[in-house]
Structure 1
Amino acid sequence: MVQYSGLRFWKDVAARDRTIDRLLALRAGLTQQIIASNKQTSVLLATWNIRDFGGHRLNPGPRLDESLLYIAEIISAFDLVAIQEVNEDMTEFQKVMRLLGPHWDYIVTDQSGNMERLAFVFDRRKILFRHVAGEIVLPEKKGSPVPQFNRTPFLVAFQAGWFKFNICTVHIYYGSATDTAKRKREISDIAEFFAARQKKDGETYILLGDFNILNPEDPTMGALLGGGFEVPAALRKPTALASANFYDQIALRTQNKLVEIKNAGNFPWQNYVFRDDAVDYAAYKPFMPTKTKTEKPIKTDIGAYRKWRTWQMSDHLPLWTEIKVDFTEAYLESLRTGAEPLADFSRKSVSAPSAD
């Protein structure tokens, strides 16, 4: 549960009441669309590019306190969230972690391309860190160096219930909308890297994050699927706020036939906070900058508001999936019959729950 106690001390009563109204609406939306399906037999994984989180290089001012509450509320609906675009100043990120409360923890990289960090935020009551973490560096080919990633992918080993998995978050190079060659190469490289590893160790790999994929039929998606990763139809959803682009993805590669994706979707936060209506535009217009750093005037019309709110929340929607983590029945049946069901319990990725 997000720590709301600080709201008591807000001197701006109008802002406090607006935030309370929006939090109640946000919680209702999350309950209806996501939390209602969360059971002890499954785990909720999400990926969210939170725009320039702490960077402020292009951001027209820091996030409002209420924005951090909304971000924390959305994260708290899941068990583990991969976050992209955590930038050099981690003040906002740390505030969100305090709002999430003492059961939440995180693992974050140092800065790489574009001064960005990649992070995993997780609820320790549900998710166990298996003490393996590292950035991905591609091996040489025939003794020669190969091009590396603009923003280095980050892999961590976790466990939820019976389910042991390796999860890697990425923020693939964007470039331009018309020249996607480097983008496609990075996607292909990371997919092939884990395909080779998974064939060798038989473990389960989840690849998620901001791939900058344009649509399910684009060659950028083909590069991901070409590595043998599965992207179920339910996950092939637009996640860009202001366009129909399918930038964010969650892909799975496993030999474990017991692993089951039960549900998936994206969460349209803009239906509940920083809404696209005259009421919210009027409420937030006083917070919008009117001049640039060089004193040039800035528009504050409804179009400018729609752009400004992406710096408060994000220009991406969270993408999430629910995965089954309870294999008790299959395991007990295997003990009775003396057979290993589908050979899955011989794999490192599935064994009886333990502290590892």
Structure 2
Amino acid sequence: MPYYAGLKQIEDTDVRRRTIDGLKRLRPALAAAIPPRTATDTLLLATWNIREFDSGKYGYRDDEAYYYIAEILSRFDLIAIQEVRSGLYPLQRLQRILGSWWDFLVTDVTLGTSGNAERMAYLYDRRKVSFTGLAAELVLAKEKGAPEEPVQMARSPYIAGFRAGWAYLTLATVHIYYGKSVAVDPRRLAEITAFARTLAKHAGKLSGAPQYAPGIPPEPGNLIVLGDFNIFNRNDVTMEAMTRAGFAVPEALQAVPGSNVDKNKHYDQIAYLSRLAHLTPTGKAGVFDFYEHVYRIEDEAAYARQRAAKPGRGFKDWRTYRMSDHLPMWVEFGIDDGDAYLDGLE
């Protein structure tokens, strides 16, 4: 659980009381919506695009927002985070609230206008998840016979290897180019297609699993892509680009609503390539709508003073710079394959 002692240091009594009340609403709602974490049996994997984290575009996040974000993140074991901005303070702040046993990996800043000066990160609980040592940013290679070098993705995908229980995982998180506000933007489709094809083709080379003998490549299983794909609908050709390359969305996630605030766009996705080894979907997955519990519409008047410091946005939009315009998406996997392994030895 997060460390709450810092609440005592919030000098404004109204803000402190509001934060306490928000946490009291948030905690039981999270407990009802998300399975409890286990020590060895399951892995709760999540992805969350935390808007402009933390650019200060409409005022830097205060303690209240950080406590809410930390409370949500604490319900998972391993989280891919998109839209971390140039400073590392947001991740360091979360780490202090969550506890010293939490750690993070982060990319450098993506340069260029379309990259939006963003980083991508993985946040994980070292009591459950260990980092295997694999961390890399994906660069697209020229296809054999192609007339020219490919256009690189606006934000380089971030690949990292982890172990949880019996399972080794290779995660690749992305924030795909958005472009025009249409279901199929040409560059967006090109990025998703190139990303999926490259990963599928070189899955073994990208694996974070151990090599047990010289010359024997590691298993390519448990390659999972997750993040903000800016997919409008699961029936669009942008999603087809993923499935054609061999990626599959866990069945439980196929039925969840959209991950934007209005829940009508399927921007965020979690999908795995071909097969899983020692990693079994439990059938539990979802998105969590924190706006039902904090920064609610009925709370608008309580934030008038904060909004006045950086005017120019209505409350519904302003609050997305406190929390996000994306909802966290999660899926649960079983990671204890001991019984099946022993049965196979008989």
TM-score by length of 2: 0.89
What does residue 155 of structure 1 align with? 159
Contact 1:60 1:289 in 2 (8 A): no
Q: What percentage of aligned pairs have identical amino acids? A: 42
1:266 maps to 2:287: yes
Letter matched to residue 307 of structure 2: M
CA RMSD of aligned residues (A): 1.7
1:93 Cα deviation after fit: 2.7
Contact 2:37 2:43 in 1 (8 A): no
Structure 2 distance, partners of 1:256, 1:149, is 27
CA contact (8 A) 2:36 2:75 kept: no
Residue 37 (structure 1) shift: 6.6
Distance, in Å, in 2 between the alignment partners of 1:91 and 1:36 is 28
Contact 1:85 1:118 in 2 (8 A): yes
Equivalent-residue separation in structure 2 for 1:66 and 1:110 (angstroms): 28
1:17 to partner: Cα distance: 1.3
- The structure 1 residue matched to 2:133, chosen from 107, 122, 131, is 131
Change in CA separation of 1:335 and 1:171 when aligned onto 2, cut-off 3 Å? same
| Residue 230 of structure 2 corresponds to residue 212 of structure 1 | yes
After superposing the two structures, state which structure 1 stretch, 233-242 or 81-90, moved more: 233-242
Alignment pair present for 1:26 and 2:26: yes
Please point out which of 75, 88, 97 is paired with 2:95: 97
In the TM superposition, 1:130-209 aligns within 5 A as: 130-142=132-144, 144-178=148-182, 180-198=185-203, 201-209=219-227
- Structure 2: distance between partners of 1:37 and 1:274: 26
Q: Measure the CA separation in 1 of the matches of 2:28 and 2:141.
A: 47
Question: What is the CA distance between 1:156 and its match in structure 2?
Answer: 0.3
Q: Does 1:275 align with 2:277?
A: no
Q: Distance in 2 between matches of 1:207 and 1:168?
A: 5
Q: Any idea what SS the aligned residue of 1:251 has?
A: strand
Would you say the 8 A contact 1:242–1:315 is kept in 2?
Answer: no
Shift of 1:14: 1.6
Q: How many pairs does the alignment contain?
A: 323
What displacement does 1:132 show? 0.6
1:321 is matched with which residue? 331
The Cα offsets for residues 81-118 of structure 1, whole Å up to 9 and x where unpaired, read as 00000001222332112111111000000011110000
Q: Secondary structure at the match of 2:308?
A: coil
SS in 2 for 1:177: coil
How far apart, in 1, do the equivalents of 2:90 and 2:222 lie? 33
Residues 45 and 78 of structure 1 are in contact (CA less than 8 Å); yes or no, is this contact kept in structure 2? yes
Structure 1: which 5+ runs fail to align? 293-297, 337-356
1:21 is displaced (CA, Å) by 1.1
Measured in 2, the distance between the counterparts of 1:107 and 1:291 equals 31
Structure 1 pair 77–37 and aligned structure 2 pair: CA distance change class (3 A): closer
| 1:202 Cα deviation after fit | 3.0
1:312-333 residue CA offsets vs partner (Å, 9 max, x unmatched): 0000000000011010111111
CA contact (8 A) 1:205 1:252 kept: yes
Q: Cα 1:291–1:266, aligned 2, differ >3 Å: closer, same or farther?
A: closer
Unaligned segments of structure 2, at least 5 residues? 206-218
